[in-house]
Copies of this chain bind each other. A is one copy, B any other.
């Protein structure tokens, strides 16, 4: 084994812009041959930013350097002027962000991608031009506020790698600013592609500022949470002006996407009342309370054009919230849910008129047999805008194990075309996640997202699995650890198993489940060698 670090941060230069795309490279213990190509190392998609670079120490009070400021594509916010990725895409202009995500998705594996041929389907490396087309068509988004220069751009869309989001945020139930920044960085370290700050308690502005200045991934928020704090916690006291000011406050800080519950209308409320679990979306229940109290239409709906005017100036993407997502299996795919989804489709068109990038949020609790209908309806009603879903959870009774519950539904939905999975932690329905819950939640959804990438025929995902299986078959334990989603855990579990067994060799040439005599792989290899 080489004495060089096994994981190394690398950067890949752009050809159109002076960008350096951050990745990591795993040095393998010996070369592997796949499709006639030799791999002694593997470039890997990496979301940890500078936090994952052992040569650098990021001071959280200073934050990350403003990466995007030097990319020769100057834009400054001008209210009412669209400077969004969609704006440029439609004009035929490739931005640095588009080139960045193209390079990032390919992982320097262009030759492998071209040679990949699974089920007779040839694949091409992703080009900046392809990214541009997908964004122009609304099928993909790059959430990247002009005021978040620390960001390493990423793309959300169904012709790209499946992404995952991790939720953090303090609430009245406790947790401090430092803890939340730590959780954001921790999420990225384990592979979260975006982070939503769902803080609702004290210090909401300051917490967000710290998170943004330290975040290499897009940050999303639900602005109505802060607006509600400003309204003294009373939904009926919310006003458009108060909400608008909150949007601008957060826009100025650099938030990359906003969840906006603009699709829940007065006409939907009777449907929600007939449900087993009514409205379980926090933002949704706030807006429903407001509508009821004032007997008026949801001001997020009536002011949606005004909202888009703000979003387009900063290039903030809108994540259209599913206020009426089912909160129980029994409520899945009902009139309330699909009625709102239809409105989300209308709002999508409206946002696109402003050249605002859009994604659509999805359920919720949905039985396995009704998941496909969710994907079909979303594509149809929302014109193929990227789908961003929480789970779905396939049963109501998995409290304590809802990360698994959500990973099951999410994997299936993503294999059918969903673009990003919002993680759920083992604490779902029970309390706020701690560091370990965040790690468990992220990895469970990485399994789901990666499994969906495999199902969707993503060549870079297939390469990693192929290398892993070759490593497993050749008892290259270090490579197995490093190719797994959680090298720390696999290494630790394996060491414990070896120690408990009494075998002295740290890396035996048999599988540690079965022992030397019953190792099928050892036996089969022996056979292959002419037994």
Indicate whether A280 reaches chain B with its CB closer than 8 angstroms.
yes
**A225-B518, A430-B513 provided; 16 other pairs, C-beta below 8 A?**
A171-B513, A173-B500, A173-B515, A200-B515, A276-B473, A279-B520, A279-B523, A288-B527, A395-B465, A396-B466, A396-B468, A396-B472, A397-B468, A399-B485, A405-B447, A426-B493
What B residues does A451 contact at CB under 8 A? Answer: 367-368, 394-395, 405, 408-409
**Chain B residue at smallest Cβ distance from A235:** B523
**Chain B residue at smallest Cβ distance from A500:** B174
Which of A136-144, A250-258, A323-331, A355-363 makes up part of the contact surface? A323-331
User: How many whole Å from A198's CB to the nearest CB in chain B?
Assistant: 9
A235 to B521, CA, bound (A): 14
Cβ-defined contact, B431 with A515, below 8 A: no
Indicate whether A5 reaches chain B with its CB closer than 8 angstroms.
no
- Given that A401-B443, A408-B447 are known contacts, is A515 also in contact with B280, CB under 8 Å in the complex? no
Cβ-defined contact, A518 with B278, below 8 A: no
A428 to B512, CA, bound (A): 9
Indicate whether A469 reaches chain B with its CB closer than 8 angstroms.
yes
What B residues does A278 contact at CB under 8 A? Answer: 473, 521, 524-525, 528
Cβ-defined contact, B286 with A523, below 8 A: yes
A400 to B470, CA, bound (A): 18
A174 to B512, CA, bound (A): 11
Cβ-defined contact, B432 with A497, below 8 A: yes
Cβ-defined contact, B394 with A455, below 8 A: yes
User: How many whole Å from A26's CB to the nearest CB in chain B?
Assistant: 12
User: How many whole Å from A401's CB to the nearest CB in chain B?
Assistant: 6
A181 to B370, CA, bound (A): 41
**Chain B residue at smallest Cβ distance from A502:** B174
A408 to B401, CA, bound (A): 13
Indicate whether A233 reaches chain B with its CB closer than 8 angstroms.
yes
Cβ-defined contact, B411 with A200, below 8 A: no
What B residues does A432 contact at CB under 8 A? Answer: 497, 500, 512-513
User: How many whole Å from A520's CB to the nearest CB in chain B?
Assistant: 4
**Chain B residue at smallest Cβ distance from A477:** B430
A399 to B488, CA, bound (A): 11
A282 to B171, CA, bound (A): 51
Instruction: Give residues 468-516 of A contacting B (CB, 8 Å).
Output: 468-470, 472-473, 480-481, 483-486, 489-490, 493-494, 496-498, 500-503, 511-516
- Given that A173-B497, A473-B277 are known contacts, is A368 also in contact with B201, CB under 8 Å in the complex? no
